[in-house]
Structure 1
Amino acid sequence: MPHDHAGHDHAHHHGPPADGNFSRAFGWGIALNLLFVAGEAAGGLWANSSALLSDAGHNLSDVLSLALAWGAALLAKRRAAERFTYGYKGATIQAALLNAALLYLALGFILWDTIDHLRHPAPVNGPVVMGLAGLGILINGFTAWLFRSGQKGDVNVRGAYLHMLTDMLVSVGVVVGGALVYFTGWLWLDPAISFVILAVVGYSSWELLRETVQLGLQAAPAGIEVAAVRRWLLDRPGVTGLHDLHIWPLSTQDTALTVHLVRPGGQNGNQFLRDLQHDLLHEFNIQHCTVQLEDEFPLMGAHGCCDEQVT
């Protein structure tokens, strides 16, 4: 049977907006990489380099990723609506998931092209390969630098940072490979380097893919240990138990928490809740919390809301 909650005392807290405005960084990153992709693709066709073509394909996927992440970040700033009561912050999670899918789709097409070049090797214009890849080091390095300050606080920004940093390192590999092909004449080195590029990109992107899938499943964000939050809550003054503790991402950088705390005969409830909100934000970076205080554990029925009881 349904049950009532004792002590219906609720608290809501919305954290501050994310630090930093990366619209300019996204704009510069997209513009520079579009120009570079066009030049690299043309150079790859002219030089007959599968390494350059694979790098251009990956850079194009990065442009799409930057555009999606930028669009989601702008959408997340819109105010909540009647139906979208949490606003549109979840768009950042959906964009991250889509970016991961697009990345691995692009890797599949690049792998197919690289296998074809390995089966049918052709002469490569080494100086063109080295020149374009060297330009990629500068462009991707500069773009990564634009995102360096925010890459620890937002998986979208971190994704952009890691993609650009990886591309810079891959371009270094292409320069080295172009030099080796030029001086040795070993044509198989070009597609072999392309395989290395695919392996590096796939490996470096795996952690981001796993994290975005977890965010999509509303798992507690990385860096927040649910057991530690539970122990911390139970240590609050007067708290004798808790139930229905839920922690989930509202976006790639905003976290929500709901919990029922058992605090028999608790005094100064409002001050307790204000302190709780403040400490959850500073201890665990949880920006939005909803807390219900109860005098005792409610009766459990067939349709009870409690998932757990902890004392």
Structure 2
Amino acid sequence: MAGVGAGHEHGVTAGADRRWLTAALVLIVAFMAAEVVLGVLAGSLALLSDAAHMLTDAASIALALIAMRLAARPPRGGFTYGFRRAEILSAQANGLTLLLLAVWLGYESVRRLVNPPEVTGGLVLGTALAGVVVNIAATWLLSRANRTSLNVRGAYQHILNDLFAFIGTAVAGLVIVLTGYARADAIATLVVVVLMARAGIGLLRDSGRVFLEAAPAGLDTTALGHRLAGLDGVDEVHDLHVWTITSGEPALSAHVLVRPGHDCHGVRRDMERTLRDGYHIEHTTLQVDHADDLARTEAEPYCEQSHGPVHRNVTAPDRTG
């Protein structure tokens, strides 16, 4: 007897308000363009690095808007999951871009520390303070959207962190105005480089885990397997796979053997409830069969080609007798 249970909660971006995200995107892009011009006029690498960081902010918001539209498209043809992993592809591209920008800006910062150019401190200070105001406004706009969406929440945190970069640039501008210490601009840029590198590495690491079909970070799959095998009526759980479809959407599949005399469907429902309530895994595919009455040994497994560790119920009857 076989049963398949599936939980299908795919509304990652459901309820998010596109108007608030679009308004924040327009605000950030407009200021970013102005900052590039002012950075060139002031000769400030810190302003240009802030503009590069704001580019990643704009990309994260644009990604959220795109993901909302893609999520509304039902799976079809060969794309059985739809286009849910477009977010992960964009995350990898974004992470790589951040790292490349960090390398370039880091090189320029060191060069300017050795031979500091003339920097217009007042223009740097004024632009950075304006950037703080713009980021606060963009943060408020995103806070009006539905942050239960992982994309919206990620964009919100990204812009919030960008405030630190602008604060650092403002401090550098103030130092230049008061003391004429031009190297403060390069030092502030190095702070931005650290933030960019940290964000880029994090994006590449997290997206890489998804593409490698790794279990969600922090999930102990061995403990999960033991817990499922210990449920009432379960004899064995094998071929247990846990992966992530896209950000915030874990999925699980497993072959479950139920003791003779127990209800397969009842065991499946208990297992789904455990996964949903204890692990927030709602996308599940469970093949549930009754265990044979015949004795089995390690040399004669239920599946000839097992794809992972076997988790057995320690209270199950001895199959070797």
- Report deviation, 1:249: 0.8
Of 3, 11, 15, the match for 2:9 = 15
**Could you tell me which amino acid in structure 2 is paired with residue 296 of structure 1?**
A
TM-score, normalised via structure 2 length:
0.84
**Range with bigger deviation, 214-223 or 156-165:** 156-165
- Residue equivalent to 2:278: 283
Aligned residue for 1:250, secondary structure, equals strand
CA distance in 2, matches of 1:44, 1:89: 38
User: Higher RCO, 1 or 2 (CA under 8 Å, sep at least 6)?
Assistant: 1
Q: CA RMSD in A?
A: 2.6
Matches for 1:31-42 after TM superposition, within 5 Å: 31-42=26-37
CA distance in 2, matches of 1:166, 1:263: 50
Gaps of 5+ in 2: 313-321
Matched, 1:261 2:256: yes
Matched, 1:195 2:196: no
- Residue equivalent to 2:305: 304
- Residue equivalent to 2:288: 293
**Range with bigger deviation, 259-268 or 280-289:** 259-268
1:133-170 deviation line (CA, Å, top 9, x unaligned) = 1121122233334445866762x444323321221111
What is the percentage of aligned positions where both structures have the same residue?
Answer: 31
- Report deviation, 1:122: 2.5
Matches for 1:56-135 after TM superposition, within 5 Å: 56-135=51-130
**Could you tell me which amino acid in structure 1 is paired with residue 28 of structure 2?**
N
Aligned residue for 1:9, secondary structure, equals coil
Mark the CA change 1:16 to 1:38 in structure 2 (over 3 Å): closer, same or farther. closer
Report how many aligned residue pairs link the two structures.
304
- Residue equivalent to 1:4: none
Matched, 1:213 2:214: no
Gaps of 5+ in 1: 1-6
- Residue equivalent to 1:30: 25
**Could you tell me which amino acid in structure 2 is paired with residue 82 of structure 1?**
G
**Could you tell me which amino acid in structure 1 is paired with residue 263 of structure 2?**
N
**Range with bigger deviation, 236-245 or 14-23:** 14-23
**Range with bigger deviation, 128-137 or 104-113:** 104-113
Contact 1:129/1:178 (CA < 8 Å) preserved in 2? Answer: yes
CA distance in 2, matches of 1:91, 1:76: 10
Matched, 1:175 2:170: yes
TM-score, normalised via structure 1 length:
0.87
Mark the CA change 1:222 to 1:145 in structure 2 (over 3 Å): closer, same or farther. farther
Aligned residue for 2:252, secondary structure, equals strand
- Residue equivalent to 2:316: none
**Could you tell me which amino acid in structure 2 is paired with residue 181 of structure 1?**
I
